[in-house]
Amino acid sequence: MGNRIVMGNSLLFISFFIFSFSFLEAQKAPAVYVFGDSLVDVGNNNYLSLSIEKAILPHYGIDFPTKKPTGRFSNGKNAADLIAENLGLPTSPPYLSLVSKVHNNNKKNVSFLGGVNFASGGAGIFNASDKGFRLYNNGAKKFEIAGVGAIGCCPAYRVKNKTECVSEANDLSVKYNEALQSMLKEWQLENKDISYSYFDTYAAIQDLVHNPASYGFANVKAACCGLGELNAQIPCLPISSICSNRKDHIFWDAFHPTEAAARIFVDEIFNGPSKYISPINMEQLLAI
């Protein structure tokens, strides 16, 4: 019954990542539960021995408060950190770090009540419909959904096209987002007690790419950290070249945004205009 009550007052952030916010009294969200891939991984991937891609070596974390790699695929904080920051909360710890404590008989310092991060690099895109229905059946009623970004504009794809974003990859993103939005509308029609906010990640990235100066960016093509053309042919490693001003770049490595870009996305999620958010933004959703 206790879990049912918490989920009944929760907000879920779905697509590449899910944020589940539990609500108590006047607080917006005293705990954050995160599901997703490397975009919001805060260290789970560190515990996966078979994972090839890692973010525990320099230059990852160069702008994080500790100035050290943490397992985040970023130069600093990622969207999970910034969502929590906007709510005045600490970042939810990686789930596998808590499991490790349990295995080491250190249960005294383990608690899931303050929030948990289940995201991991390499997790991929899960079945949003299936997971959403399962969460709803457990009492979740509020959902914050992020669409897929302009994948073809990532340095890893752009390097294959030399000059522009790869349209074939972007077309797949558009088709996915159209299907996702259609599913959400049908879902809400079938379940009148659901409220949701959709963030158009694709449009937001396209705006940064085509109007970089408006957001303070100077380089929209190359990764800040990596090797080869556009710093995108070899991953970010200790031997990689690194840009001197990370705030100039949209992309940190071949796939992931810099902290500067992530901050813009999270600000738009909370307070964004209608061209990125529908039917309401996260601030409005939290207030319901």
Residue-number span of the structural domain to which 94 is assigned: 2-148+171-202+261-287
CB 173 within 8 A of CB 149: yes
What pLDDT is recorded for position 233?
Answer: 95
Handedness of CA 64, 69, 71, 73 (dihedral sign): positive
Q: Which of 10, 38, 92, 173 is catalytic?
A: 38
> What is the distance between the alpha carbons of residues 233 and 193, in angstroms, rounded to a whole number?
47
Residue 155 lies in a domain: no
What pLDDT shows up at residue 24?
Answer: 46
Residues 6+ apart with CB under 8 A from 272: 199, 204, 281
- Whether 102 maps to a domain, the answer reads yes
Distance CA 42, CA 51 (A): 15
Catalytic annotation on 38? yes
CA–CA dist 16, 121 (Å, integer): 11
Q: What is the pLDDT of residue 6?
A: 40
Asked whether residue 236 is assigned to any structural domain, the reply reads no
Q: Which of 173, 197, 200, 256 is catalytic?
A: 256
In a domain, 222, yes or no: no
- At residue 171's C-alpha, the angle toward residues 165 and 172, to 5°, is 115
Residue 47 lies in a domain: yes
| Rounded-to-integer distance, Cα 5 and Cα 23, Å | 10
The CA distances from residue 172 to 166, 169, 175, 202, in Å, are: 11, 5, 5, 11
Count of the separate structural domains present in the chain: 1
Q: Which of 37, 81, 200, 253 is catalytic?
A: 253
What's the pLDDT at 267?
A: 96
Is residue 180 one of the residues assigned to a domain? yes
Are the C-beta atoms of residues 170 and 158 closer than 8 Å to each other?
no
Q: What average pLDDT values come out for the chain (288 residues) when binned by 10 residues?
A: 39 52 55 80 87 92 97 96 90 79 58 64 58 68 85 95 90 94 91 89 96 98 97 96 96 98 96 92 88
Q: Is the residue at 116 inside a domain?
A: yes
Instruction: Please state, in angstroms and rounded to a whole number, the distance separating the CA atoms of residues 285 and 176.
Output: 24
On whether residue 32 sits in a domain, the answer given is yes
